Amino acid sequence: MSKEIILILVFIAAMLLGYKLINAVPSLLHTPLMSGMNALSGITILGIIAVTALAGSVVGKLLGALGIVAALINVVSGFGVTDRMLRMFHSNKGTKEESE
């Protein structure tokens, strides 16, 4: 099988699996889910690191560095705010125990 076919198959399989799993997330958690997914979309940092390494010109390297900064903010802030949000969700029992 050629590399192209494998990549396209992986794309389709990941789409289907992701769709199935995300369907199970209750709407209660849709905002954190979304910001978590948003952080994951920063996975593009892998690509930008790889091409920055290849870049020959200084302009290319600078553009690459800009891309890395952007993607990393996407990743770290995304996971950071998601974590902050998820920690805010308290159970009924939990809050009572804490306040007493």
- Near another protein in 3-62, by CB under 8 A: 3-4, 6-8, 10-19, 21-56, 60-62
Q: Does 97 bind another protein (CB under 8 A)?
A: no
Total H helices, total E strands in the chain: 5, 0
Q: Who's near 73: CB < 8 A, 6+ residues apart?
A: 42
Residues 75 to 94 in contact with another protein, rule: CB under 8 A:
75-92, 94
Determine the Cα–Cα distance for residues 19 and 37; give it in Å rounded to an integer.
12
Name the minimum Å distance from CB 56 to another protein: 6
Residue among 7 and 100 whose Cβ is closer to another protein: 7
